[in-house]
Copies of this chain bind each other. A is one copy, B any other.
Amino acid sequence: MRMDPLQTAIVDAGPTHLRVRGYDVLELMTQGTFTDMIFLLHHTRPPTPVERRLIDAILIGGADHGPGAPSCAAARLAASGNRQSPSAAIAAGVLTIGDEHGGAGSACMELIAEGIERSRRDGITFARAAAALVDEARAAKSRLPGFGHRMHSVIDPRVDVLFTLAKDSGLAGDGIGMARALEQAIAQRIKPIPLNIDGALAAILHDLGFPPLFGKLIFIVSRVAGISAEVLEEYTREKPMRITFPVAYDGAPPRRSET
């Protein structure tokens, strides 16, 4: 029977060759870094040294924030109950990643793109475009993705590192400009809510030419390294079924079926 082939512009794999975006993987294996490969897989070319530095910083910064994060906690729970498959535990961790946990990068990239587009289209400054976006979010009572973090009420030190790297590299572009404009507008119109790690990477990834969805994907690729390490620790150091939870019931009192 027939089925349509799975078409791809990413990988060309044959019995004697393996190329990604046209580049020879064997050559990359001897000279490149995994970060080059991650860039190449999601872009159309390898990174420049400056771009590689920024992507490395983002990947390192997001890899692990401790076992209390939903991603690592869920992976440990799965490793606690199901010790037949480390991939099952890693997948359970990946599944906790969404708009609320580590996935705000994508939404922030869309917000940044929208602000830049408005500035161009309406011939207004970044500051005014950012103010408009903040007012709209406030009116709609919606959160501004990429700002605020439940654990770092004042500042996440990783954000400064990322922005310093971006500035030093000469890469600072419209994405970073709009992110800063949004941060200022939020401080003036609501209260100071610092850009978080998702917002910082959103600004940089915009300036590197990645599509918004990559904001989520790079966090997943990064965090899988940490999830994997925590699964290894759970398998080798802890007993199965060791994680128990306090529970409280507040539903209906005992009652009898009428049947």
Give min CB distance, A158 to chain B, whole Å: 7
Considering the complex, which residues of chain A in the window 158-188 have a beta carbon less than 8 Å from any beta carbon of chain B? 158, 161-162, 164-165
A150 CB–B CB distance under 8 Å: yes
Considering the complex, which residues of chain A in the window 16-42 have a beta carbon less than 8 Å from any beta carbon of chain B? 16-38, 41-42
Contact string against B for A residues 73-113, beta-carbon threshold 8 Å, 1 for contact and 0 otherwise: 11011101111111111111011111111110000000000
Residues on B with beta carbons closer than 8 Å to the beta carbon of A103: 82, 84, 87
- Check if B6 sits within 8 Å of A61, measured CB to CB: no
| Bound complex: CA A161 to CA B29 (Å) | 7
A139 CB–B CB distance under 8 Å: no
Taking A30-B161, A161-B30 as contacts, is the C-beta distance between A6 and B76 under 8 angstroms?
yes
**Segment from A118-126, A130-138, A230-238 that makes contact with B:** A230-238
Residues on B with beta carbons closer than 8 Å to the beta carbon of A94: 87, 90-91, 94
- Check if A87 sits within 8 Å of B236, measured CB to CB: no
Taking A12-B251, A154-B15 as contacts, is the C-beta distance between A41 and B64 under 8 angstroms?
yes
Q: Which listed residue (B7, B65, B241) contacts A248, Cβ 8 A?
A: B7
| Bound complex: CA A250 to CA B66 (Å) | 12
- Check if A10 sits within 8 Å of B251, measured CB to CB: yes
A241 and chain B: residue at smallest CB distance: B100
| Bound complex: CA A224 to CA B259 (Å) | 25
Taking A27-B257, A88-B88, A247-B5 as contacts, is the C-beta distance between A41 and B83 under 8 angstroms?
no
20 pairs, CB–CB < 8 Å, chain A vs chain B: A1-B3, A1-B246, A2-B3, A4-B242, A4-B243, A8-B233, A9-B249, A11-B67, A11-B251, A18-B158, A21-B252, A22-B254, A23-B255, A29-B56, A34-B222, A67-B247, A70-B77, A82-B97, A86-B213, A92-B96
> A residues within 8 Å of B by Cβ?
1-13, 15-38, 41-42, 44, 46, 55-57, 59-61, 63-68, 70-71, 73-74, 76-78, 80-92, 94-103, 150-154, 157-158, 161-162, 164-165, 211, 213-214, 216-217, 220-222, 224-226, 228-233, 235-237, 240-257, 259
